[in-house]
A = this chain, B = another copy of it.
Amino acid sequence: MTYCVGMVLDRGLVFMSDTRTNAGLDNISTFKKLTTWESPGDRVITLLSAGNLATTQSVISLLDERSKSPGDRTPSLLGVPSLFQAARMVADTLREVIERTGDSGQRADGTFNATIMLGGQIAGSPPRLFLIYPEGNFIEAGDDTPFFQMGETKYGRPILVRAFDPDLSFEAAMKLLLVSFDSTLKANLTVGAPFDFHIYETDSLTIGQTGRIEADSPWFEAVSKGWGEALKSALDSLPDVKLSKLQ
């Protein structure tokens, strides 16, 4: 499995993904699932991937090759005029890779599927965030649903639903994400640290803070340990009722 979150804040976009891949519980590895393309001053595009690793690596390689050959920049992620067109291109590439693998050779029903989150900004437009399905269609985040999750979404969702706020600071958003990831990590062995992140500030049009948080980083340990206590205090702060009143 995988766990990835992308969120649209007033001040920019924040992405985080785990790095665990597995082929069965007895075969786990670490792979980067967060990729960023940049053309400083013009665009920044970040892609998070979940699903079959061969599929997602192939998609990224195809996108990457196209964006690196300057004579052939159209169509490429660095050449498209809008993020919507970027999402279409990624969606087409994704469907193409899935179809090519699925049509020939050995069959493995459904296992070639992958889902991709794509977000970023192209000069002249606001930041946007898309969730792309293996079928090649996609949805965009809006005011009502300003964040997307992929993979093992359930354990980490309640805290996101409750505490997400578009005017969160980047620091607060990162804390929120770490708590959401920690909740998932504690319940599903196929989601694992380290976590990759990218923080994109609106209109900077350049890659923002990006990095990797290890399981033994002092900050993650403090968040993980502190959260249990913080939750207990939060529970204590809720109103008590004499149980006899409930009958």
On A, residues with C-beta under 8 Å from B are 154-159, 161-163, 165, 170-172, 174-176, 179, 183, 186-187, 197, 199, 209-211, 213, 217, 219, 222-223, 226-228, 230-241, 243-247
Contact = CB atoms under 8 A, between A and B. Distances in A.
A149 B196 CA distance: 32
A227 to B, nearest CB: 7
Contacts of A171: 240-241, 243
A174 to B, nearest CB: 7
A246 B211 contact: yes
A211 B199 CA distance: 48
Central interface residue in A163, A186, A219, A235, by most chain B CB within 10 Å: A235
Contact of A238 (B165, B230, B243, B247): B230
A245 to B, nearest CB: 8
Contacts of A172: 235-236
Contact of A234 (B170, B187, B231, B243): B231
27 contacts: A154-B154, A154-B187, A155-B157, A156-B158, A157-B187, A158-B187, A159-B231, A161-B186, A161-B187, A163-B232, A163-B235, A171-B240, A172-B236, A175-B238, A179-B235, A197-B246, A209-B243, A209-B244, A210-B247, A213-B246, A223-B239, A227-B234, A227-B238, A230-B235, A230-B238, A231-B234, A233-B237
